[in-house]
Amino acid sequence: MYRRNAWILHAVLITTVVIVAFPILFAVIKATQTRVDVLSPSLIPGTQFVENVRNVFLNANLLVFMRNSFIAAVAVTVGKTTLSLMAGMALVYFRFPFKRVVFGLILLTLMIPIQVLVVPLFDVISLQPPQTFAEWWAWISRPDRILFQPAEYGFGWANTYAALIVPFLASATGTFLFRQHFMAIPSSLADAARIDGATPWQFLRRILIPMSWNTIGALAVIEFVYVWNQYLWPKVIIRREELQVVQVGLNLIIGTGEGVEWGYVMAGATLSLVPPLLVFMLLQEQFMRGFALSGGK
Amino acid sequence: MKDNAVFTSRVLPWVLLLPSFVILLVFIYYPALQAWVLSTYRSNLFLNTRNYVGLDNFRLMFTGPLADKYIQVIVQTFVYGALVVGLGLSIAMVVATLASQNVRGARIYRLLLIWPFALSPAVAGTIFLFMFNPDIGSVNQVLDALFGIKPRWLDTPLLAFSLVVLASVWKNLGYNMVFYLAALQNVPKELGEAAAIDGAGPIQRFFRITVPMLSPMTFFLLFTNLTFAFFESYGLIDIVTSGGPVGPPPADGAGLTTTMIYQVTLDGFGGSGNTGLAAALGNVILLFTILITLLQFRYGSRRVQYGDN
């Protein structure tokens, strides 16, 4: 390659790297500045980082928001990966009737993003369950009303962790990823395991899981980031500040009135980026091999 | 396809599938059915009234006094989506190609390009809201000092719309870059070298080799970026513009940055609390999503194949 071209290439790449990083670096620098400097265009790092972090953590509840997000993200990541692994194993290593129908029904949910269901899901989650046996019996004995009339009862989970976790535990994407991965494992391996008398449980533990770390890691990245970054659903279903997640919490810190403490907000934005960034960096290799390289298929 | 189904238990596969199945049934399929049921009612969350109105909610969206608003919202969602996808994917494709060249420090460049993969729409929105704040934002202070202008980024309709597009494209850069860089690792180097020997310039090689080789990944990213524009952008828009400001006629039926999902939450949980209308609009989005998914399956499977896989 000509020397001149190499310089142009470096120039373009450096420019892009700066554009990609600039708003985040801007937030990080602003998080270190004093109340006065924050409102100036100055990009000189200040000395107030610890002070801003302490304020946003304790006075603006960021610690609580991050804890809530962390609980939800870890629970969904572990639960979803486990359920997807189980479903994928059933679909590949067992013969049972209606297998294609079952797989089709799981795959079909890829087309139904949970956000379009925000209104009915709100009812299903937030309405109170039947309080007495008589109510319960009257409800269950009329399946036509359950199906074709607006829901009367729900789980009563408004303002709970369950509302942030349970609806997201099953995954078409995850099941599909594991199924594709298992199908690519030579069948001779499963045959050999069976001939040696391995039970399905032993096969799962000794062979399948050790061979699936890339897929598990990829799915963990996708799900952790997905839950950590969620905004719409928590905003709607969680109305108590001490249970709110970090993304909506940031907006609460900005608040509505004048006099926003932008130093705190930028410290909050910066800190909220750390957990998903760590997960991504730690599992980047697995993510690349288990998902990105296969084109997400 | 070889058959991997070596275990014969009748019960175990159902036990393994049951948890996933119950969750999908209760939290996807049942709400999806309820969405259609709710869309045939006119309800008011606050008065707690609910009347069966048949398909009236759908009729209201496309004819009558409210039609202007809903059609505007649908059209601007697609314009926003097209801009996010078009700009985002072309920029990411060009930069990923450059970063995959045989250049010194390519590994470092790649790492520096993908690290914001996990950036959230809400954080992107928060940073942009601060940077572009008309009064105290750094962008306007610099513009004021240099050119003596202070654009009203958040309340001038076209500027606000452009700002949301800009923030969205930027937010997705890291994500798109991850996938394009991964796909480019799979493109055989010999192809480009052979073309170079035959006298093809870098631009010709990009359009004749790189773009077609990346097309399966482009189809995948087309779908994920459109999903972002339709749904995940909600957090960004809510923080930066709250769906506003109202555009000039004929786009004065709704805020210019109100997307379909934003309108759903306005109708469902906002002032009017009309969950019937919200559910109906949700179903319209669902139909669009299904259509787009089917198109993706239809054309995404027509892969361009070179090399030996």
pLDDT, tens digit, 9 for 90 and up, residues A14-61: 999 999 999 999 999 999 999 889 888 888 998 889 999 998 988 888
As to burial, measured by CB atoms within 10 angstroms (0-12 exposed, 13-18 middle, 19+ buried), residue B135 is exposed
**For chain A, what are the domain ranges?**
61-294
Count of domains forming chain B: 1
Token look-up 């923030």 returns: B167
Token look-up 């020397």 returns: A3
- Using one digit for the tens of pLDDT, what is the confidence trace for A186-245? 888 888 888 888 888 899 998 899 999 999 999 999 999 999 999 999 999 999 999 999
Peptide bond into B65 cis (omega under 30): no
DSSP string for chain A: --HHHHHHHHHHHHHHHHHHHHHHHHHHHHTTS-HHHHTS---S--S-HHHHHHIIIIIS-HHHHHHHHHHHHHHHHHHHHHHHHHHHHHHHHB--TTHHHHHHHHHHGGGS-GGGGHHHHHHHHHSPPP-SHHHHHHHHT-HHHHHHS--------TTSHHHHHGGGS--HHHHHHHHHHHHHS-HHHHHHHHHTT--HHHHIIIIIHHH-HHHHHHHHHHHHHHHHT--HHHHHH---GGG--HHHHHHHHH-SSS---HHHHHHHHHHHHHHHHHHHHHTHHHHHHHTGGGTT-
Put simply, the answer to whether A150 touches B34 (Cβ < 8 Å) is yes
User: How far does the CA of residue B8 sit from the closest CA of chain A (Å)?
Assistant: 6
Put simply, the answer to whether A119 touches B173 (Cβ < 8 Å) is no
The average pLDDT across A123-131 equals 94
DSSP string for B58-101: HHHHHSSTTHHHHHHHHHHHHHHHHHHHHHHHHHHHHHHHHHTS
Classify residue B306: in a domain, yes or no. no
Residues of B in contact with A106 (CB under 8 A): 20-21, 24
Interface predicted TM-score of the whole assembly (ipTM), two decimals:
0.92
Amino acid A294: pLDDT:
63
Contact present, A221 and A280 (Cβ < 8 Å): yes
Residues with Cβ < 8 Å from A246, sequence gap 6 or more? A62, A65, A66, A68, A69, A228, A272
Contact present, A273 and B118 (Cβ < 8 Å): yes
- A296: region left, alpha or beta (phi > 0 left; psi from -120 to 50 alpha): left
Angle, helices A62-93 vs A246-254, to 10°: value is: 150
Amino acid B303: pLDDT:
52
Please, what sign has the CA dihedral across residues A234, B22, A208, B221? negative
Cα(A287)–Cα(A268) distance, integer angstroms: 27
User: How far does the CA of residue B5 sit from the closest CA of chain A (Å)?
Assistant: 4
Residues of B in contact with A190 (CB under 8 A): 4, 6
- Using one digit for the tens of pLDDT, what is the confidence trace for A159-189? 999 999 999 999 898 999 999 999 988 888 8
Nearest to A112 among B28, B119, B238 (CB): B28
Contact present, B239 and A251 (Cβ < 8 Å): yes
Contact present, A295 and B183 (Cβ < 8 Å): yes
Would an 8 Å CB–CB cutoff place B30 in contact with chain A? yes
Neighbours of A37 (CB within 10 A): 19
Cα(B38)–Cα(B279) distance, integer angstroms: 6
User: How far does the CA of residue B150 sit from the closest CA of chain A (Å)?
Assistant: 14
Residues of A in contact with B216 (CB under 8 A): 295
Neighbours of A45 (CB within 10 A): 15
Put simply, the answer to whether B142 touches A21 (Cβ < 8 Å) is no
Put simply, the answer to whether B118 touches A16 (Cβ < 8 Å) is no
- C-alpha dihedral, B31 to B32 to B33 to B36, nearest 10°: 110
Looking up residue B96, the CATH number of its domain turns out to be 1.10.3720.10
Tens-digit pLDDT string for chain B (309 aa): 446 777 878 899 999 999 999 999 999 999 999 999 999 998 766 677 788 988 999 999 999 888 999 999 999 999 999 999 999 999 999 999 988 888 888 889 888 998 888 899 999 999 999 999 998 899 999 999 999 999 999 999 999 999 999 999 999 999 999 999 988 988 888 888 888 888 888 888 899 888 998 988 898 899 899 999 999 999 999 999 999 898 888 888 889 999 999 999 999 988 777 889 999 999 999 999 999 888 877 776 555 444 333
As to burial, measured by CB atoms within 10 angstroms (0-12 exposed, 13-18 middle, 19+ buried), residue B153 is buried
Amino acid A153: pLDDT:
92
Cα(B213)–Cα(A87) distance, integer angstroms: 33
Classify residue B305: in a domain, yes or no. no
User: How far does the CA of residue A60 sit from the closest CA of chain B (Å)?
Assistant: 16
Amino acid B49: pLDDT:
79
Classify residue B57: in a domain, yes or no. no
Q: A61-294 architecture in CATH? A: Orthogonal Bundle (1.10)
Structure tokens at A40: 């100036």
Classify residue B22: in a domain, yes or no. no
Cα(B162)–Cα(A284) distance, integer angstroms: 33
Residues of B in contact with A118 (CB under 8 A): 261, 264-265, 268, 282
SS3 B150: coil
Angle, helices B215-227 vs B275-300, to 10°: value is: 180
Put simply, the answer to whether B122 touches A248 (Cβ < 8 Å) is yes
Would an 8 Å CB–CB cutoff place A15 in contact with chain B? no
Q: Buried (b) or exposed (e) across A195-206, using 16+ Cβ within 10 A?
A: eeebebeebbee
Would an 8 Å CB–CB cutoff place A136 in contact with chain B? no
User: How far does the CA of residue A17 sit from the closest CA of chain B (Å)?
Assistant: 6
Cα(A22)–Cα(B160) distance, integer angstroms: 20
Residues with Cβ < 8 Å from A158, sequence gap 6 or more? A125, A126, A237, A238, A239
- CA B62, distance to chain mean position in Å, is 24
Cα(A78)–Cα(B65) distance, integer angstroms: 49
- Using one digit for the tens of pLDDT, what is the confidence trace for A246-293? 999 999 998 855 678 899 999 999 999 999 999 999 998 888 887 766
The average pLDDT across A60-78 equals 95
pLDDT at A13 over 50: yes
Contact present, B122 and A248 (Cβ < 8 Å): yes
Put simply, the answer to whether A194 touches B99 (Cβ < 8 Å) is no
Residues of A in contact with B138 (CB under 8 A): 26, 40-41
Would an 8 Å CB–CB cutoff place B90 in contact with chain A? no
Nearest to A117 among B113, B115, B282 (CB): B282
Instruction: Point out which residues pair with B50 in neighbouring strands.
Output: B43
Classify residue B20: in a domain, yes or no. no
Classify residue B49: in a domain, yes or no. no
**Chain B residue whose CA is closest to A124:** B31
**Chain B residue whose CA is closest to A113:** B286
Contact present, A121 and B31 (Cβ < 8 Å): yes
Cα(B222)–Cα(B241) distance, integer angstroms: 25
Neighbours of A31 (CB within 10 A): 25
**Chain A residue whose CA is closest to B24:** A170
The amino acid at B171: K
Cα(A62)–Cα(A68) distance, integer angstroms: 10
Token look-up 């790649």 returns: B110
User: How far does the CA of residue A99 sit from the closest CA of chain B (Å)?
Assistant: 10
Cα(A63)–Cα(A53) distance, integer angstroms: 10
Cα(B247)–Cα(B269) distance, integer angstroms: 23
